[in-house]
Amino acid sequence: MATTTIRVLLVDDESNVLSSLQRLLRNESMQIRTAGSGKDALALMESEEIDILVSDSKMPEMDGSELLSLVQKRWPHCIRILLTGYPEMESLIKSINQGHLYSFIQKPWDDNEVRGVLRQAARLAYAERERSRLTKLIQARNRKLRDLNQQLELSVTKRTNALRKAIQLRDKAYKKLEKSYMNSTEVFAALINQRLPKSRQTNGKVSALVKAYAEEAGWDAVRINDMTMAAALYNLGKVTWSDEHLMTPSDTFRGRDRDKFRTYPELGESLLMSLEPLQRAAIIIRHHQERWDGRGFPGQLEGRNIPEESRLLKLAVDFIELQRGMILDRLMNRDDALENLGIFADRVYDPDMTARFIALVHDKAPDLEPLPDGVISCRLNQLKAGMLVKSNLLTDSGFLLLNAGSILTPGMIEKLMVFERTRREHYQVHIDVSSDEHVTPDDEASESAETSGSQDS
């Protein structure tokens, strides 16, 4: 109140009343304005901000009730007080209802009462002015805050777009780098294969096996990528070997040769560790010659302490290398190699993984070359008379059993099964199913039905 002067407008058509009220309020902290009519009061309020209006009720042209009603509509925050003689209830009620009076002062007035009413009204006016000031301040700050928010949103949008572009560029660069490393992997693999005869280029077979197993097990894409790169480069550590060592079955190494053989997983790891995207593949390679019983190398890790990927790589490598004569001084056929894995499960290999691996190879044969369209591979117990043989069938020693283009007969099938049992070999016959003229395995159900019908009759 001390820092803000309250402006009071006194309205009365009698000048002596206005003079009396001015003298009464001269020591109050108020700015006093006067007007001799309602019209003059409205004109003054157009040009000045008035906090309190004190109006006489009886005035010509515009009485107090009408004036207070107009002020209430146009300046609702102005506090309105009615000055009246002996009030008529009807006139007073009209003033209260239309002008929304704060109070009324009855003539003749008591000076202390007038001062008290005006002081209380001044406090209320000051509070209202402060409320209005704070409201305007809050509104201004809210507008400023909205502007700042809009600027911030615009800035965030710009930064987000810039960040999105940066991420896209990063991803593009990363894909380019990843492709570069994949190319490096292919170069390394090709370098290894240049040192080996075609019969001992195992990388592709091993990669196909581990990828098929990993996908069947539900491994994520990153893990599968690491696994296939490790499979492609697992024998990188042999790149400095002599031709004689490369052609020597690993189980026949002795002395220094055996010691050198045991270093190839670590050497392969060391060649790859400087390439960040290949570091995980390098660790897999390091441990792929560990054994389930802890008697492997280089770390003599045991059981589940061996990385799961390394355990899988060991299975795939041994399965393929047994068939290529790279472990023993003789070649194993495919079924014997699988049987060998099963025999050494729980000693050399993870037993649970070995069972799943063998089942995968039996069911889906990911190690076999993909067949062309219209050709299927059948075991002997799946063969039917009338099937067309697509390619030559050879024994493990290279003896020709069937010519491509042969039409199978019951006698031919029986002889093949006898030959398979006596030689303890297992044969897969490639059958041409591109023509409807020949029997396919899908005809088995219908043939069984026909056979059953003949027996019934």
Q: What's the pLDDT score for residue 182?
A: 60
Q: What's the pLDDT score for residue 204?
A: 86
Q: Do strands 400-402 and 103-106 pair parallel, antiparallel, or not at all (unpaired)?
A: unpaired
CA distance 442 to 121: 104
As separate numbers, helices (DSSP H) first and strands (DSSP E) second, the chain gives 16, 10
Kindly report whether the global pTM for this prediction surpasses the value 0.75.
no
Q: What's the pLDDT score for residue 65?
A: 85
Q: Closest by alpha carbon to 219, among 93, 147, 312?
A: 312
CA distance 271 to 72: 92
Tens of pLDDT, residue by residue over 251-261, are: 999 999 999 99
Q: What's the pLDDT score for residue 446?
A: 38
CA distance 51 to 8: 6
Tens of pLDDT, residue by residue over 308-358, are: 999 999 999 999 999 999 999 988 999 999 999 999 999 999 999 999 999
Mean pLDDT over residues 361-367, rounded?
86
Q: What's the pLDDT score for residue 455?
A: 35
* Percent of the chain residues past pLDDT 90, beyond the cut: 50
Q: Closest by alpha carbon to 127, among 158, 102, 144?
A: 102
Residue 414 — very low, low, confident or very high, per pLDDT cuts 50/70/90? Answer: very high
Which element (helix H / strand E) includes 79?
A: strand 79-84
Tens of pLDDT, residue by residue over 420-455, are: 888 877 788 989 988 655 665 544 433 433 333 333
> What one-character-per-residue DSSP string does 206-265 give?
HHHHHHHHHHHHT--HHHHHHHHHHHHHTTGGGTTS-HHHHTS-GGG--HHHHHHHTTHH
* Residue reference for tokens 């023509």: 435
* Percent of the chain residues past pLDDT 70, beyond the cut: 86
User: Letter for the amino acid at 333?
Assistant: N
Q: Closest by alpha carbon to 208, among 52, 316, 79, 347?
A: 316
Tens of pLDDT, residue by residue over 217-238, are: 999 999 999 999 999 999 989 8
CA distance 117 to 113: 6
* Contact call for residues 265 and 286 (beta carbons, < 8 A): yes
Mean pLDDT over residues 102-117, rounded?
89
Q: What's the pLDDT score for residue 453?
A: 35
Q: Is the pLDDT of residue 304 over 70?
A: yes
Q: Closest by alpha carbon to 413, among 436, 397, 431?
A: 431
Q: What's the pLDDT score for residue 457?
A: 29
Beta carbons within 10 angstroms of residue 324's beta carbon: 18
Q: Is the pLDDT of residue 40 over 90?
A: yes
